Amino acid sequence: MANPTTPQRSEAQQRADEIAIFRAELARLEGEGVLTLDPAQAQAVREHHDVLLASFAGRFDIDRNLQARQLSLGMRVASFLGALALAASVFFLFYQFWGYFGETAQVAILLGAALASLGLTVAIQNRDASGYFTKLAAMVAFACFVLNLVMLGQIFNITPTDRALIPWGALAFLLAYAFDLRLLLAAGICCVIAFTAARVGEWGGIYWLHSGERPENFFPVAALLFAVPAVFAHRRQGGFAPIYRIFGLLCVLVPVLVLGHWGWGSYLADFEGVSTRTIEGGYEVAGFLASAVAIWIGARRQWPDTINTGITFFVIFLYTKFFDWWWELMPKYLFFLVLGLAAILILLVLKRLRRAGAMGGEGAP
């Protein structure tokens, strides 16, 4: 468990938000005459909170008010776009002048760029309390490393292989956990997904670049992604566990959605006597069940990310079935009326579930 005297940035931001909520509610209670602290108590609480906020702001550059939070959102967007732009700039810079260098110089440039960008990321992280510039440098370091392996493969005529995804993913995970970067965690997870699907496809006799033609190749990695946050608590990286769960759900629900309308892409279609319509019908039912289970698990474990992903896909599965059943049979006004009524029904069910969950939470110790 993290030491409360040395919180991470996410923990510091959460504590600052709780202080702001506490102050607003205390002021409201005082105005309504419900609770009034004596001057000594109020001064002690205020000074304690001021010291905490000043410490957090100095160490982590947290958002201390609504205006700062709004600006931080813009900074995150700018950081993301800037990281993509700088990574693309490095990529096209290499290709623009690549032919002017000899083989030895090319190798030296590639290795130097990867190591220099990684060293720059470490140097910036030690001076960047906000983390935005660290994210920029880390994305450039990752892009340089990926470009490094791709270009070295071209220089030495190495056959493209899915094994390149292993070092790419390893560096992405290293940067993500070292600097608390969710974007690079997502990049590392994508590498793991692609590599696992490619391996499963090769075991099934498919060339690794064509593994996506069999959506069922993505099912094994879903279990792996769900197991990671269950085994590792991620107390120091508060936003990492939801990312694992969301990608795990996507590796189940997206292939099921595809196979519900593309049965011949299933391995089951290779068996004699199994029709594609039977496969599609089975996966349609599996889609409803899987999304409903995701909603149920998310509600029990209090995982909003899992609930929202399950609800989103449940609605997608429902609407695609409505389209299959009634688009050609109903007048368009009636079809969209049915969709609207279905949305209202879903809202009523979710409202009832939310109320039941709130009542259960009130009774909890």
Q: Please check the confidence at residue 127 and state whether its pLDDT lies above 50.
A: yes
Q: Please check the confidence at residue 2 and state whether its pLDDT lies above 60.
A: no
CA–CA–CA angle 136, 140, 143 (5° rounding)? 140
Residues 6 or more apart from 165 whose CB is under 8 A from it? 191, 192, 194, 195, 198
Residues 6 or more apart from 88 whose CB is under 8 A from it? 143
| Under 8 Å between Cβ of 191 and 169 | yes
Q: Please check the confidence at residue 208 and state whether its pLDDT lies above 60.
A: yes
Q: Report pLDDT for 6.
A: 44
CA distance 202 to 353: 44
Query: Span 297-323, mean pLDDT?
Result: 90
Percentage of the chain lying above the pLDDT 90 cut: 26
pLDDT tens track for 326-343? 888 888 888 888 888 888
| Under 8 Å between Cβ of 159 and 178 | no
Percentage of the chain lying above the pLDDT 70 cut: 88
pLDDT tens track for 176-188? 998 888 889 999 9
Q: Report pLDDT for 192.
A: 95
CB hemisphere CA count around 324 (13 angstroms): 12
CA-closest candidate to residue 169, choices 191, 139, 151, 150: 191
Query: Span 321-326, mean pLDDT?
Result: 84
Q: Report pLDDT for 82.
A: 80
CA distance 209 to 207: 6
Query: Span 29-48, mean pLDDT?
Result: 86
pLDDT tens track for 74-119? 777 777 788 778 777 877 777 777 777 777 887 888 788 888 888 8
Tokens of 179: 């600097």
Local structure of 341: helix, strand or coil: helix
Task: Round the average pLDDT of the chain to a whole number and report it.
Answer: 83
- The model's confidence at residue 39, banded by pLDDT at 50, 70 and 90, is confident
Q: What is the separation of C-alpha 66 from the centre of its chain, rounded to a whole number of angstroms?
A: 25
- The model's confidence at residue 316, banded by pLDDT at 50, 70 and 90, is very high
Q: Report pLDDT for 362.
A: 47
Q: Please check the confidence at residue 364 and state whether its pLDDT lies above 70.
A: no
